[in-house]
Chains A and B, each alone.
Chain A
Amino acid sequence: DAMVIQNPRYQVTQFGKPVTLSCSQTLNHNVMYWYQQKSSQAPKLLFHYYDKDFNNEADTPDNFQSRRPNTSFCFLDIRSPGLGDAAMYLCATSRGLGGVGQPQHFGDGTRLSIL
């Protein structure tokens, strides 16, 4: 089955220690997204790639970076994690721009804990 896979499922890191979360997809979708979701809140878009074109949300902290080396993979780098960065991180893909017939497909997320 075509899918979106996130690794690891659970990540524990120390305050200030860089961490990388990964996402891969077999759907061959153009767009890949990273969301941050905290308990009882809506998923918050951090950034997305349309192919290699990177788009950052205006309120995404500089501490968060992303890389997309090829169509299949996308990484989220948190350079100096703070306690407030503890959250579920969701990767999603879509075939193209929003509109009819373009739902997003999500991975199962990585739950990040900060010690």
Chain B
Amino acid sequence: DQQVKQNSPSLSVQEGRISILNCDYTNSMFDYFLWYKKYPAEGPTFLISISSIKDKNEDGRFTVFLNKSAKHLSLHIVPSQPGDSAVYFCAATHSGTYKYIFGTGTRLKVLA
């Protein structure tokens, strides 16, 4: 049972444009959501997170939006840069637990 789903395995975007990566979840207990970025031959690196009490969190070029009623979150990267090319993982957890459930990742390619 895949509780966190990233339905797009890959995405290509032109440099300077917006990249939108999507993530859906099924467990209504989740109250904390994270995005990680992974370059080849490196471990995932924490990028941005959002608590379920918010619907938006912004950090520079990265914004995460949360739609609790739809159980959907998205990561927006504006403007996209070639260095953003990586695999992006969505993860979810809930307060008081140790478990972070990951999606399968979306490979973003930003074309120069």
Contact = CB atoms under 8 A, between A and B. Distances in A.
Given A42-B105, A104-B100, A98 B95 contact: yes
A97 to B, nearest CB: 6
B99 A42 contact: no
Given A41-B104, A42-B103, A43-B102, A98 B32 contact: yes
A98 B100 contact: yes
A106 interface: yes
Interface in B1-34: 2, 4, 9, 31-32, 34
Interface residues of B, number: 30
Contacts of A90: 43-44
Interface size class of A (residues with CB under 8 A): 20 to 34
Given A40-B9, A42-B89, A99 B43 contact: no
Given A40-B104, A41-B104, A42-B105, A98 B46 contact: no
B74 interface: no
Nearest to A104: B100
Contact of B96 (A40, A48, A55, A99): A99
B9 A106 contact: no
Given A98-B93, A98-B96, A100-B32, 4 more contacts: A31-B98, A43-B89, A43-B102, A103-B46
Interface of B: 2, 4, 9, 31-32, 34, 36, 41-46, 49, 51, 89, 91, 93-105
